[in-house]
Chains A and B, each alone.
Chain A
Amino acid sequence: MRHISLKSSLTLHRVLASSLILLCFMLLDASNSLSDFSTQLLYGDTSTFWGTLNDLNRTTYSLSEVNEILDSEFGIPKEGIGRADFEFLSDTETGMKDYFSKGRIGLSAEALAGGIARNRVFPEVKGYGAYSFHTEYGFLEPYDRSESSWNYQLFTLLGIGKVEMVDALAIDLYPRIPSVESFLFFWGAEGTIGYKNIFSSTMWSRNQIYVSPTVFYLDESETAKKFKINHRKASLRWRTESEWRVQPFENLDPIFELGALGISGPQPTPFRPLPKSWDLIHDLETFPSAGQLFGIGSRLVLRNSDSTFSFLLDGGFYGGYLGAGANLQIKNFSLSAGSWGYEQSSGFRIIESRIRYLEVGYSSEI
């Protein structure tokens, strides 16, 4: 059995537009040749700091104008993200079959743009735009739906892209915004191991550990020159996730479930919309302050027994910020929306980046 899924996570208009076009093609293609197909599309906050920088660029550099533009921006990060994912799964038949039942290839296009102005005395302006594309390939062994089982996944990833950055005192913005454009190259791996324990027909738990080391390289040399590394950054995303689910009422259809979720690690939210380049741009720390490493919340699930309909509602206090999200799945289509807060500093509740998103998707077995 092969499995294909396409997922797009979008917050920037241009990524949204291109993904919608891609989605249309996929749906057309699916209707013509595939018996069963699924897709997802996500849309989020579109406000980005580049609007502010463009405003600065357009001004005639009157001090009052610069002051006015920056005045409302201090300490408030603006960020937009976009992502389009394509995933292909296939049963393994030889070689790794004893360890992993499926092989996986993933393709992702991601965008991250934003910025922040800080310090009212001598203002510092940081702006960034990162656009990247990466591939993931590896193997996985999914949970067994009917009995207690292990899940493990191992992927490698390889990506390229472009990063544009501004990091300057406000006064340096004249006579033009001193942005630096770099070629981005990154590689890494993702590993997951988890165990789902089914205690009874009405109760189960899932415990999972995820680790993803990535090394980023930035090349700021001019195109005519040889590739030259100007910046290297290694990041380690990790998380542990514990979920307990119970059906308080038996023999209901649709089935109603209550869940409790505990997550730890950087960016501990149930939904993970952040692109890989986030780690580079925000200089992700493996162990930031303890307060932003933990999240707890509850989960309500309404689903029917043949998995053609489900509605999931998440809410809780994750990484220092309240957040909520919902997911609706009807047959092969899904729709997700939510709002989660992410800490941009290494401290606790200092600089909140609030990501609001909308995702639609479709997935299918072919």
Chain B
Amino acid sequence: MIGLAGTFSISGCAPSNDDSNSEDRIIQMLDERRYDDVIEMIENDPDPEVKKTYSTYLVQAYLGVAHLEPLSFSNKVLARQSSSTEQDVSPVDRMIPDCDPSAMSERDEIDFRCTLWRIFRNLTRKNFSQLERASLVAQKYFDKDTESTNSINFIGAYVETLLTLHLIKETILYYDQLDPIADSDQDISALFRLIGDTTQSAERALSRAKHVSQIKITQSISGFQDENLFTDKNKNWSDQIDFRNESGIPLIRSIAYSTSQDMETIAGKVLIIRELDRFIIELSGADQKDR
């Protein structure tokens, strides 16, 4: 009794450890895939400092809600893809035809065009809003790239990479159904807004990626292979990380080209459209057939 009384009085003097408790609870919810609970807990907290403190977990919870956890998303991309029926060919299948839907091994040689097809198929409109939200939280609360830890930059790079890919998909699908003659200026403006969003997201992705060790980026994107969507194993990493360097692969080249153009001028717009056309031809595989 004396002991217990003593303990109560000692505990009363103890410093509060609410912060570490909250963090443990948040991680426990992430372990249990209770992503909505994490979002509710952090977003609804009246103290703005809470959102800043736990912003990395908030970003991860949005990724979880969007079913974009890196390991399981990579598995979905590598898994056998469902086939479109002849009557109901999805826009992505139409845009990037002739890809083998069977399960892919990380040890298989990476075909850029068909890997992009797999990624596009698994990035749905349903998870786009969560991804956008994750990006907004990261932009608002993550410190500058140079001041952030490796892990935070990695999370930021991952979010922005997915968002970039999502926006590229939206852009080419939107462009594909545009009729430059019949459609209004508003529709054309919407296209350039999409391109603008894409390039900004790509800028953010690569800015974060510059501060993450190469191995993490390559593993996350390519499934532990040496080569991946953004780099070429035969080229120096630091050369490729600057995506304005036009020696990169087509996707990077196209984005780089777009950002280098002034979208406010007609000449700039024409050049961007030409680049988009070239990119879409590459995606369709027509250029390979021509060769």
Contacts and interface: CB of A to CB of B under 8 A. Distances in A.
Interface string A117-161: 011111100000000000000000000000000000000000000
A193 to B, nearest CB: 11
Contacts of B8: 264
B21 A289 contact: yes
A66 B78 CA distance: 14
Given A170-B71, A285-B17, A121 B30 contact: yes
Given A119-B60, A169-B216, A264 B4 contact: yes
Contacts, number: 129
Contact of A240 (B7, B14, B20, B33): B7
A88 interface: no
B31 A119 contact: yes
B151 A174 contact: no
Nearest to A73: B31
Given A118-B31, A293-B11, A63 B224 contact: yes
Given A240-B6, A290-B11, A347 B30 contact: no
A171 B158 CA distance: 13
B62 to A, nearest CB: 9
A120 B11 CA distance: 34
B71 A241 contact: no
A348 B18 CA distance: 11
B227 to A, nearest CB: 15
A351 interface: yes
B3 A242 contact: yes
Interface in B1-54: 1-4, 6-8, 10-11, 14-15, 17, 20-21, 24-25, 27-28, 30-33
Contact of B215 (A70, A174, A264): A174
A346 B17 contact: yes
B74 interface: yes
Contacts of B219: 171, 174
Contacts of B64: 120-121
A350 interface: yes
Contact of B28 (A60, A75, A293): A75
A263 B1 CA distance: 10
B105 A350 contact: no
Interface in A82-108: none
Contacts of B196: none
Contacts of A289: 17, 21
Contact of A209 (B6, B63, B220): B6
Contacts of A262: 1, 3-4
Interface residues of A, number: 45
Contacts of A74: 31
Q: Is the interface of B mostly helix, strand, loop or mixed?
A: helix
B155 interface: yes
A118 B28 CA distance: 8
B71 A119 contact: no
Interface in A52-92: 60-64, 66-67, 70, 74-75
Contacts of A287: 10-11, 14-15, 17
A288 interface: yes
B154 interface: yes
B7 A264 contact: yes
B285 interface: no
Nearest to A60: B107
Contacts of A75: 27-28, 31-32
Given A63-B75, A174-B215, A207 B21 contact: no
A52 to B, nearest CB: 15
B268 interface: no
B223 interface: yes
Nearest to B78: A63
A240 B223 CA distance: 53
Which of B8, B20, B78, B155 has the most chain A CB atoms closer than 10 A to its own CB? B20
A243 B71 CA distance: 51
A123 B71 contact: yes
A171 B70 contact: yes
Contact of A294 (B7, B74, B151): B7
A345 interface: yes
Contacts of B151: 122, 169
A265 interface: yes
Given A121-B30, A171-B219, A174-B224, A350 B71 contact: no
A208 interface: yes
Q: List the 5 closest pairs (A to B, CB-CB), nearest first.
A: A240-B3, A287-B14, A75-B31, A264-B7, A121-B60
Interface of A: 60-64, 66-67, 70, 74-75, 118-123, 169-172, 174, 207-209, 240-242, 262-265, 285-290, 293-294, 345-348, 350-351
Given A75-B32, A122-B70, A345-B24, 13 more contacts: A62-B105, A66-B71, A119-B60, A122-B60, A170-B71, A209-B3, A242-B1, A262-B1, A294-B7, A347-B20, A348-B21, A351-B24, A351-B28
